[in-house]
A = this chain, B = another copy of it.
């Protein structure tokens, strides 16, 4: 018997007692559509077959792989760091906005818009070596807790999406993050949280510079944005980084629209997937009026474009890891 088990393990016989790859997904149209897509591209006998080298799946991060309410977690890091840095040296608060932010005035921050948020974020996201920035983020993730759930931020990841990532990788997909969030920030936890290594993270990046001080080289994070990986930027970044078009794209907001459009406009079988935040009880419910994660065009056009709308409340049996 032991020998038979060993043989079965060795050859990983197809069709041999498959467990459900998506146990946290309720049986229904969404789960069926995902499984049907994966089977269609991995069946070597089908004309929909896709060679493993071309099995590329791209995932947005905020709101798709982890939560993004009440505001992007990276911004909460930036606020915490700003307060910490201002306590040590108040002279860094060089504008009214920075003073308001350090004082925790969320209304002033909200009123400042994207540009204001970038100004605030830049204080903690530039002027240090990349390695030091990553160490700071790691330390924050280890101690900071979400204001509503009390959970560590890097535990507020979606169990059904973890299963989808693992299912795809088991079927010889490579899984990439394509996020409007900062690439150096995401790389701190992507391996542990999602099993996605740093070189499979694509994101927004600041200016960077090579510097040799006393014979020791470092990559320094400079002020200013180098590339915004959002909206039209997502397909541009995908082409720049991968040189080929994905066959599966998953997002949750209109910032992912072009990534899904680019992915699903290719030849052969394609899957565009939108996580729709419908679950106020277990997570958050928002779409058209979201201050973050606004989803309007995607909702309007998903049907005609053949994209899969995942209803978080109906389609997910569980939300967080370990909560079943």
A residues lining the B interface (CB < 8 Å) = 53, 130, 183-184, 187, 197-199, 201, 205, 208-210, 212, 216-217, 219, 232-233, 235-236, 239-244, 258, 261-262, 265
Q: How far is the CA of A183 from the CA of B197 in the complex (A)?
A: 22
B197–A53 CB distance below 8 A: yes
Please tell me which one of the listed residues B209, B232, B243 contacts residue A198 in the complex, with CB atoms under 8 A apart. Answer: B243
- 11 of the cross-chain contacts (CB-CB < 8 Å) are A183-B240, A198-B244, A199-B241, A201-B243, A205-B240, A210-B233, A210-B258, A212-B261, A217-B235, A217-B258, A217-B265
Shortest CB distance A217–B (Å): 5
A242–B199 CB distance below 8 A: yes
Chain B residues whose CB sits within 8 angstroms of the CB of A241 once the complex forms = 199, 241
Chain B residues whose CB sits within 8 angstroms of the CB of A232 once the complex forms = 209-210
Q: How far is the CA of A105 from the CA of B169 in the complex (A)?
A: 54
A240–B198 CB distance below 8 A: no
Chain B residues whose CB sits within 8 angstroms of the CB of A233 once the complex forms = 210
A235–B219 CB distance below 8 A: yes
Chain B residues whose CB sits within 8 angstroms of the CB of A210 once the complex forms = 232-233, 235-236, 258, 262
A243–B209 CB distance below 8 A: no
B199–A243 CB distance below 8 A: yes
Q: Which chain B residue shows the least CB distance to A266?
A: B217
Q: How far is the CA of A199 from the CA of B240 in the complex (A)?
A: 9
Q: How far is the CA of A205 from the CA of B216 in the complex (A)?
A: 28
Please tell me which one of the listed residues B183, B201, B262 contacts residue A217 in the complex, with CB atoms under 8 A apart. Answer: B262
Q: From A130, A199, A241, A262, name the one whose CB has the most chain B CB atoms within 10 angstroms.
A: A199
Q: How far is the CA of A183 from the CA of B242 in the complex (A)?
A: 10
A240–B208 CB distance below 8 A: yes
Chain B residues whose CB sits within 8 angstroms of the CB of A258 once the complex forms = 210, 217
Q: A210-B232, A217-B261, A232-B209 are in contact. Are A239 and B199 (CB under 8 A)?
A: no
Chain B residues whose CB sits within 8 angstroms of the CB of A183 once the complex forms = 240, 243
Q: How far is the CA of A199 from the CA of B236 in the complex (A)?
A: 14
Please tell me which one of the listed residues B217, B239, B262 contacts residue A208 in the complex, with CB atoms under 8 A apart. Answer: B239
B187–A208 CB distance below 8 A: no
Q: How far is the CA of A219 from the CA of B208 in the complex (A)?
A: 25
Q: A209-B232, A210-B258, A261-B212 are in contact. Are A219 and B243 (CB under 8 A)?
A: no
Chain B residues whose CB sits within 8 angstroms of the CB of A53 once the complex forms = 197
Q: How far is the CA of A113 from the CA of B45 in the complex (A)?
A: 55
Chain B residues whose CB sits within 8 angstroms of the CB of A265 once the complex forms = 216-217
A239–B197 CB distance below 8 A: no
B187–A209 CB distance below 8 A: no
Q: Which chain B residue shows the least CB distance to A201?
A: B243
Q: From A210, A212, A239, A262, name the one whose CB has the most chain B CB atoms within 10 angstroms.
A: A210
Shortest CB distance A230–B (Å): 11
